[in-house]
Amino acid sequence: MAARKSRRKEAGDVEAVSELAWPPRGDLAVLNHDLRRVDGPAKISGRARYTHDVRLPGMVYARVLTCPIPRAEVTLDLEPARKIPGVEAVIALAEGGTKWLGQPLAAVAASTPEIAEDGIRAIRVKLEPKPWAVDRAQATAEDAPKVLKDGNLSKENTSGDETEARAALTSADQSVEATYTLPVQHHVCLETHGVVVDYRGGDEATVYCSTQGTFTVPESAARELGLKASQVTTIVEHMGGGFGSKFDLGTEGAAACRLAKALGKPVHLMFSRADEFGAAGNRSGSRQVLHGGASQDGRLVALVGDIEKLGGLQGGSFPGRGPYIYSVEKSFLRVRSVYTNTDVARAMRAPGHPQASFGMESLVDELAYAIGMDPLEFRKKNLKGPVYARQLDAVAREIGWAQHPNKVAPGALKDGMGVGIGFAVSTWGGGGGEGCEVDVRIDRDGGVTASVGTQDLGTGTRTYVAAIVAEELGLPIESVTARIGDSRLGRATPSGGSTTTASLAPAVKDAAYKARTLFAERLSRAMDVPAERLRFSSGRIADERDPKRALSWKQACGELGGDGLSARGTFQPGLSSNGVHGAQAAKVRVDTLTGRVQVLKMAAMQDCGLPLNRMAIRSQIQGGMVQALSYGLLEERVIDSVSGWALNANLEDYKVAHASEIPEMVALIDDEDTRPVIGFSEAAVIPGHGAIANAVYNACGARVRDLPLTPDKVLAALGRVG
């Protein structure tokens, strides 16, 4: 892939010694290898400092009180809390009419976490319940209370021609009409949302924040503190998971700022686990009535879909317009939102896509079996381009589809047990753009530092920042220090939509390239070799025509003045691309007597352009599969519509996948993709649960159209229970 040469002459800049482009993959010494994370030892030894772990002199601990019912008229009496010795400040966050279950009502700051909790329990709360709607049934009932002023349904978005699509359905050889539903899922970041606000009066503050966007915080924190954004520093050394839910300051961060301002002391405020379930966002639920038609020779000829998004007080997510990934000759989709008195849905890893994927992949599977065609072949026939076909073939090989007996119908059971295989595919953008400023410094003592204010969500950002610079300068990764997570460093974009890598990696490359070019120019005089002939590799700088004319890295740096050398890089087009594909397969065993589904193996193939760190990429792919397995088999927010209570706002009753559920997993990187860097992480979470549901059908004939795929639903689908 030829990268475009895009260079301007700047002060201190020199002419390029070679093209600004990623080297051929075979020439890479650091990138495209398995790299251990540079922050691994700190995390694995418990030394990494997260926002939760920040301890400052004079710091107080804050807790939040949340509303236990979906809608109420609220009156607070804060005085009993204020009387508790050790309670330092109590503030109201909402009074009067509340609108959603879990809405923060008040916050207490105290000298210890225990006393802050005492303060929360001491607040007298008068709740006058108002009629609410917490689920689709309540929100769409004839006498439903109005959740929003304009009612409980959004305007419809439509795409395609309904008349044509319905006509195509009528003339299809086979058709399937079914309703697919997906629950509201929680992010379950292990580090709950929160901040430590270090403000002791005066005109500067530091906000430690568990966030996906270092630079999304200063402006809103400054507003709460009465400061300018430039007076607020945000620190995100490490953060314990975000998955789309951690942008900006949030209610909790704003509350901490208010408490810090009132007290003139540092305030530590982290949501409790229960708060987190109610007030830190979720993946919107989905209900999809799909009617699809296929020709006997295996073409998808028609789709009519009626889709509802359940995003609480806001819209929720569903991707794009038209059928999800697959080509359908005639289609019509109607999409609308149903509002409820629950927390606003937030972006969650590939917003809308896992929902759309489950509906479409289930329907496609049902149509394949309806016409008696191998579901793998049916997929390949209806997907555009060669990439999906090769990826599906790869995961089919890995999962053992060729040897599998049930190709066109569910198989025979043995002792009540069935084994099945299912498939699904994914797509994502993952492109990048402007917005990152990276500084690379080379010091006279040989030290190399790459600095940018970006954040590492656990994806390995810090590691590839160091790796790109090491590659460019011909050094081992250990020789480069990556400094990130600090708003005093160069600006960086927030991590959403898998855009970080494709935005940041080019800027890092640009900075490293400029630093190398400048360095070569300086060494050219000292070594009496033209700059363009100097090669940086294996910790040496050598004349490519006469490799004996060389300096070690240390010697070379000794030629620098006391100021060393530094260069700033920005986004350069041509170093990243966009648009990824993935395919996944699942193999399951279903116990038809108990309905229990055990996933035996999952396999994925994913393209991602140039792989920066192969090991971290495989980890991301596996992590996507684990999350999809968890979503497909276990996860669901449950609210009792009558009492309005959250019934599983804890990690015992809201179950995520644990060791015993994790099968053998194989993550394959699609090395036939020769494009430059692309973000892909969201794609990995999209297809797994659909593949599992399809495998369950393939195993035993139980078509479960409602996630999570719990044993009762398997038994119901088999007609064993009513």
What is the four-CA torsion angle of 213, 218, 221, 223, rounded to 10 degrees? -130
Taking CB under 8 A as the binding criterion, the range among 153-161, 235-243, 366-374, 435-443 that sits at the site for other proteins is 235-243
Taking each helix axis from N to C end, the angle separating 500-527 and 461-473, rounded to the nearest 10 degrees, works out to: 30
Comparing CB distances to other proteins, the nearer of 274 and 551 is 274
> Listing from the earlier edge strand, what are the strands of the sheet with 597-606?
417-428, 580-591, 597-606, 664-669
Contact 336, 307 (CB under 8 A): yes
Q: What phi and psi values does residue 494 have, to the nearest 5 degrees?
A: -70, 160
In the bound complex, what is the minimum distance in angstroms from residue 30's beta carbon to other proteins?
Answer: 16
In the bound complex, what is the minimum distance in angstroms from residue 306's beta carbon to other proteins?
Answer: 27
Tokens 């793998």 -> residue = 376
In the bound complex, what is the minimum distance in angstroms from residue 242's beta carbon to other proteins?
Answer: 8
Comparing CB distances to other proteins, the nearer of 189 and 370 is 189
Q: Is 47 in the site for other proteins (CB under 8 A)?
A: yes
Single out the residue of 120, 195, 556, 717 in contact with other proteins (rule: CB under 8 A): 120
Single out the residue of 30, 147, 182, 189 in contact with other proteins (rule: CB under 8 A): 189
* 448 strand-pairing partners: 442, 480
In the bound complex, what is the minimum distance in angstroms from residue 346's beta carbon to other proteins?
Answer: 15
Q: Is 55 in the site for other proteins (CB under 8 A)?
A: yes
Taking CB under 8 A as the binding criterion, the range among 109-117, 211-219, 244-252, 445-453 that sits at the site for other proteins is 109-117
Residue 112, burial from CB neighbour count under 10 angstroms (0-12, 13-18, 19+): exposed
Residue 16, burial from CB neighbour count under 10 angstroms (0-12, 13-18, 19+): middle
Comparing CB distances to other proteins, the nearer of 519 and 631 is 631
Size of the site for other proteins (CB under 8 A): 80
Interface mask toward other proteins for 346-375; x: CB under 8 A: ------------------------------
Residue 411 in 3-state DSSP?
A: coil
Single out the residue of 102, 119, 160, 240 in contact with other proteins (rule: CB under 8 A): 240
* Cis status, amide bond into 708, omega within 30 of 0: yes
DSSP 8-class letter at 486: B
> Listing from the earlier edge strand, what are the strands of the sheet with 96-98?
96-98, 72-77, 124-129
Single out the residue of 13, 23, 29, 40 in contact with other proteins (rule: CB under 8 A): 40
* CA–CA separation, 178 and 280 (whole Å): 32
Comparing CB distances to other proteins, the nearer of 110 and 172 is 110
Contact 649, 274 (CB under 8 A): yes
Single out the residue of 14, 16, 21, 48 in contact with other proteins (rule: CB under 8 A): 48
Interface mask toward other proteins for 68-87; x: CB under 8 A: xx--x---------------
In the bound complex, what is the minimum distance in angstroms from residue 370's beta carbon to other proteins?
Answer: 34
Comparing CB distances to other proteins, the nearer of 364 and 604 is 604
Residue 535 vs residues 15, 145, 472, 519, 612: alpha-carbon distances, Å: 16, 72, 10, 11, 22
Q: Is 484 in the site for other proteins (CB under 8 A)?
A: no
Q: Is 252 in the site for other proteins (CB under 8 A)?
A: no
* CA–CA separation, 258 and 647 (whole Å): 31
Taking CB under 8 A as the binding criterion, the range among 23-31, 50-58, 313-321, 466-474 that sits at the site for other proteins is 50-58
Q: What phi and psi values does residue 148 have, to the nearest 5 degrees?
A: -115, 165
* CA–CA separation, 129 and 496 (whole Å): 37
Interface mask toward other proteins for 85-104; x: CB under 8 A: --------------------
Taking CB under 8 A as the binding criterion, the range among 52-60, 356-364, 475-483, 631-639 that sits at the site for other proteins is 52-60
Of 501, 489, 488, residue with least CA distance to 439: 489
In the bound complex, what is the minimum distance in angstroms from residue 584's beta carbon to other proteins?
Answer: 13
Tokens encoding 580: 């990824």
Comparing CB distances to other proteins, the nearer of 68 and 250 is 68
Taking CB under 8 A as the binding criterion, the range among 236-244, 280-288, 552-560, 690-698 that sits at the site for other proteins is 236-244
DSSP 8-class letter at 533: G
Q: Is 114 in the site for other proteins (CB under 8 A)?
A: yes
Interface mask toward other proteins for 608-647; x: CB under 8 A: -------xx-xxx-xxxxxx--------------xxxx--
Single out the residue of 7, 33, 91, 113 in contact with other proteins (rule: CB under 8 A): 113
* CA–CA separation, 480 and 510 (whole Å): 16
Residue type, 259: L
Contact 689, 663 (CB under 8 A): no
Query: Taking CA 366 as the corner, what is the angle to CA 365 and CA 371, rounded to the nearest 5 degrees?
Result: 100
Q: Which of residues 643-672 bind other proteins (CB under 8 A)?
A: 643-645, 650-652, 656-660, 662, 664-665
Q: Is 3 in the site for other proteins (CB under 8 A)?
A: no
Tokens encoding 569: 């890089």
Comparing CB distances to other proteins, the nearer of 418 and 623 is 623
Single out the residue of 23, 241, 539, 574 in contact with other proteins (rule: CB under 8 A): 241
Residue type, 561: G
In the bound complex, what is the minimum distance in angstroms from residue 48's beta carbon to other proteins?
Answer: 6
Single out the residue of 17, 31, 61, 388 in contact with other proteins (rule: CB under 8 A): 61
| H-helix or E-strand spanning residue 396 | helix 386-399
* CA–CA separation, 467 and 450 (whole Å): 10
In the bound complex, what is the minimum distance in angstroms from residue 671's beta carbon to other proteins?
Answer: 19
Q: Which of residues 403-462 bind other proteins (CB under 8 A)?
A: 457-460
* CA–CA separation, 154 and 310 (whole Å): 11
Q: What phi and psi values does residue 677 have, to the nearest 5 degrees?
A: -55, 135
The length of the chain in residues reads 722
In the bound complex, what is the minimum distance in angstroms from residue 497's beta carbon to other proteins?
Answer: 18
Tokens 């700051």 -> residue = 109
Comparing CB distances to other proteins, the nearer of 290 and 617 is 617
Taking CB under 8 A as the binding criterion, the range among 39-47, 422-430, 513-521, 550-558 that sits at the site for other proteins is 39-47
Q: Which of residues 692-721 bind other proteins (CB under 8 A)?
A: none
Single out the residue of 1, 10, 15, 44 in contact with other proteins (rule: CB under 8 A): 44
Beta strands, E only, 93-173: 96-98, 104-110, 124-129, 157-160
Comparing CB distances to other proteins, the nearer of 82 and 273 is 273
Comparing CB distances to other proteins, the nearer of 330 and 462 is 462
Q: Which of residues 453-472 bind other proteins (CB under 8 A)?
A: 457-460
Taking CB under 8 A as the binding criterion, the range among 8-16, 89-97, 107-115, 535-543 that sits at the site for other proteins is 107-115
Contact 168, 293 (CB under 8 A): yes
Comparing CB distances to other proteins, the nearer of 65 and 207 is 65
Taking CB under 8 A as the binding criterion, the range among 122-130, 244-252, 443-451, 587-595 that sits at the site for other proteins is 122-130
In the bound complex, what is the minimum distance in angstroms from residue 41's beta carbon to other proteins?
Answer: 4
In the bound complex, what is the minimum distance in angstroms from residue 10's beta carbon to other proteins?
Answer: 38
* CA–CA separation, 479 and 517 (whole Å): 19
Residue/partner pairs of 647-656 with CB below 8 Å, 24 or more apart: 648/277, 649/102, 649/273, 649/274, 649/277, 649/278, 650/273, 650/274, 650/277, 651/188, 651/273, 654/186, 654/188, 654/277, 656/188, 656/630
Q: Which of residues 263-302 bind other proteins (CB under 8 A)?
A: 272-274
Q: Is 243 in the site for other proteins (CB under 8 A)?
A: yes
| H-helix or E-strand spanning residue 259 | helix 250-263
Q: Which of residues 128-147 bind other proteins (CB under 8 A)?
A: 129, 131-132, 145
Count of other CB atoms within 10 angstroms of residue 179: 12
Taking CB under 8 A as the binding criterion, the range among 3-11, 59-67, 337-345, 505-513 that sits at the site for other proteins is 59-67
